[in-house]
Structure 1
Amino acid sequence: MNGITLQKAEELFKESADKLQEMAMELRYRNFGREIIFYRKPFTPISITKTLCELSCKHCNTHYLEHMHQVDNSKDLIKLAKLLSKSDIKGIVLSGGSKKDGSVPIYNFKDAVKKIKEETSLIINAHTGILKEEQALIVSEFLDSALTDVIGDRKTIKEILGLDYGLEDYQRTLRYLRTFGVKNISPHIIVGLYYGKIRGELNALNILGEIDPDTIVIVVFIPTKGTEMGNIDPPDIEDVSRIISIARLMYPEKNISLSCVRPGGRYRLKLDREAILSGINKIAVPSKSAYETSKELGLDITEIRRSRCCSW
């Protein structure tokens, strides 16, 4: 890491969002010029557990699995992947419900995914969850990109996910994936996961330097109807801005992307603007506000119109 320390980040978080944006944008221009990349269409998500999940976390409760393509066996996964590859789909995101150990069991589909890679040109991304060494070794044989949520606070992990883990378990997962040679590692920092409040996000950012991430992806908690947290407010946009700015100050030369997983409506319009002003250089599924803000700042928009994950 060639940016600020965790101690400095904690001090700066108390500063105004405007001040942090000014500092972050200086580094953003220095290292990325005026280019900003817009990903119009994400990769296609596939749940390899259908709608089953052994955790049913408070913020999700399987809701997001319901909106994915669903399979639960290798034969159906191969069939679906081949079908998708014949359309305009360039890649897939393997996802699904978690096991009680916190892992997403993509490791059970090793042979199927290897066959998909042999017979199609699909890029294979996956949500990994927390992995043991042997699980990480298996997925490293077929993954092109690992999308690993990183949560930096034990209380959040316990209360929201129901897991008795700490930040060190996420750190170990990332270390395994890098050691075993996964080409692209793009950790996801979930802002506001603790009931819409900031808790542990700076700790999560701090550990990323060790594994040299390809892209740092900023996810923003979405209050989702039908879940225990459906009536919680999303995080304050100024706090999200602070986290993004500090991410840029910690990792001046790293790609930082705003995830497609973020609240919609007017919140999204304001968020996209503040995210750009805070130093991101990539956005998945940009809003009208993202285009307007980029043009206002004189940024050069590179649009990726075909399906592509913002981790690339």
Structure 2
Amino acid sequence: MSTCPFLLLPLELRDRIYAQLVSINHTQTPKDAEAALRSTTFYSWNFDPTIFRVNRQINQEAKVVMARGNHFVVIECAKELEQGPKDVKVEDARIMVYNVTLWPGKATKSPVVPGERMRIRLDKPGALETDMDAYVILAEEVRDVCVGLSTFQRPEGQYRTSGLSASIDVHQPAYTETPAARDTRERALLEPLQKLRHFQNVSIHGTLPAINYQISRQLTHQTFDRGLVLITIDEMISHGDQASSIGDYGTATAHYQRAHEYFCHCATHERHVFTHPADVSALEFKIMQHRALSWIYAGKLADALEAAQIALYVANQLFRLDSPITTVPPTEADGHISAGAFRKWT
């Protein structure tokens, strides 16, 4: 049997070729604007699994490169988490964050994943194994998935996570790390989960006790924290700005759209996170302003005009200047904001 010509190449060259196929640093490409809005994640992945089926040696070498170049998180969840609300039409549900689209895909059994950093199991106490599906996502996508799961799912106003148990296992790396490095790594993995609430039980394994306590306590809260909500919205706006700055306007728009959906949910169902009524309009104005600027840079003036019109409408509602000038913090006066408060806001 003749030797595969590819295996005659030096290992360093083979690793570079593997990386072109299985490392996100090489395979990520922005989706177009419409596709990005219809997905939980903002990239399409040119991942080609056929490389793993060439032969045993190539399979093993490629998996090493995949594990080295990516950090994966496995989410095992009850199938009911994937179901959309009964009162939403199918065509409407597709653009919302109800059915998560994850990469590289879905399995009916617990997959063994090279490069796995964390495994999350979301289920009802006593759920059967057959009622579970497993998803493999990138660690960079955990925040986006959690933002989607943190919104209402059922028409009766219950969160999808309400009454569920969360079991989280954080895997330790093979190399030795300092206590400070371990703290940073574990917080980076677990902090996106702070977007979630309403769990019945939470158990976290493999982390420092202080991090374990903090995250577990937050995930079982029944209310959302103002600081975390505003930080989440700012994170999505910031990611949108980063994408826009490099000309990736489709991805930028998707981040702004996600920020707006999350904002609208909180403004409707978690009103307590806004300390003053003006905060709601000010934040919506900020989101629409960023969307309009992104479309202007993209040269799509019709879309920019639509976003700008919404921003101007919100600004008009927020900045009614028919009250006496004052330097006190924003206060309600017949539904209007004082001119002095407006100046302080700006």
Q: Could you state the TM-score of these two structures normalised by the residue count of structure 1?
A: 0.26
Greater relative contact order, per chain length (Cα 8 Å cut-off, separation 6+): 1
Return the structure number with greater strand share: 1
Q: Could you state the TM-score of these two structures normalised by the residue count of structure 2?
A: 0.24
